[in-house]
Amino acid sequence: MNHVLVDLDSNGDLTDEGKAVPPAAVPGFLAERLHVPDTATDIVVFVHGWQNNRHTAEKRAGRFFTLLEETYRAQRERYPAIGAWSGHYVIVRWPSTSSPFLRGYRRIRDRAHAMTTTGRAAEVLAQLLGYLNETRRLPAGPPTLRTSAGQYLHCVGHSFGGRFVVEAVQAAADRPTVLGWHRADPRYPYTVDTLLVFQMAASPDIFAGRFERILHSAPINGPVVLTRSTADRATGLWHRLAEGTPGIGHAGARVPAEHIGEVDLRAPGALYRHDELDHRIVNVDAGRVYRRGRWWNPAGAHSDIAHAESAHLLLSLADLAR
């Protein structure tokens, strides 16, 4: 299974053999690296989280992509609207390693924040999504009448990587040439079809503040789907000590309550209904599945996301996006 790996430095710039790509050269760099095959039906952009070097980022993302392929082959009748899954996979890597304790958590939290505020990570990721959007075959018709003939764009983040993904989609809202949507339609058709964040390292109120815009005016057609587990000590203990409250990966999003739905993470074969996911935000209780973490690992089950249930969730969202 093929995938493409792109690297960001600590400033949020794309890098090529360790050197930052100048802003003017980014479009050409993306065109060279991110060619979408005509045979692809779905494009998955995966942004990893805390404690991943280049090797582990590629290994963990690759494992998730393999789970997608295997789960689809084993249960393809559960996703009738997809027809045939042929994934094109993009991994976004960024410098996320530190000590596994509170000091290291704060260090990476501050780096992730700086990369999307004073740095260029949000803009660069928006350009990446925009390039993929411009070069894919767009699904035909308005969102409620889509067919499976187009290529669908899915964003997946883990931990702090979820912040990058959400920030990038918001940044694209102010850059109509980046994602190339039809501005006459306030629902931004033909942009990000699904946005799934595993164990997000952010405060439960962030969608009522810094990320409020993504709920009302941003280029995303589906819900923002967020998993949580109380066995996640990174967003439970370390996030609480660093920011005074457990993170979304531990407690879920809490506000704005009128836009939030709740479901349990389900096994392959158990269907998600459209009405259950028809909210701007959906908290997914994954506590039954995301339990593993070595006893000596202070992060607990923060990275325990490589399960068929996780793949089934994304495939279900991709099916409903059609």
Residue 141 pLDDT > 60: no
Q: Any idea which residue has 């530190």 for tokens?
A: 98
pLDDT value at residue 113: 87
DSSP at 220: B
Element (H, E) at 95: none
CB atoms inside a 10 Å sphere around CB 42:
25
Whole-angstrom distance, CA of residue 186 vs CA of residue 183: 7
Whole-angstrom distance, CA of residue 154 vs CA of residue 134: 14
DSSP at 292: -
Whole-angstrom distance, CA of residue 319 vs CA of residue 307: 19
Residue 175 pLDDT > 70: no
pLDDT bin (cut points 50, 70, 90) of residue 93 is very high
Read off the pLDDT of residues 55-78 as tens digits, 9 standing for 90 and up: 999 999 999 999 999 999 999 999
pLDDT bin (cut points 50, 70, 90) of residue 145 is very low
Domain locations in the chain as residue ranges: 3-321
Distance of CA 11 to the CA centre of its chain: 20
**In percent, how much of the chain has pLDDT > 70?**
89
Average pLDDT on 206-234 reads 90
Read off the pLDDT of residues 40-57 as tens digits, 9 standing for 90 and up: 999 999 999 989 998 999
Segment among 21-35, 55-69, 174-188, 298-312 with least mean pLDDT: 174-188
Sign, CA torsion 174/176/178/181:
positive
Residue 179 pLDDT > 50: no
Whole-angstrom distance, CA of residue 196 vs CA of residue 305: 12
- Token output for 43: 């494009």
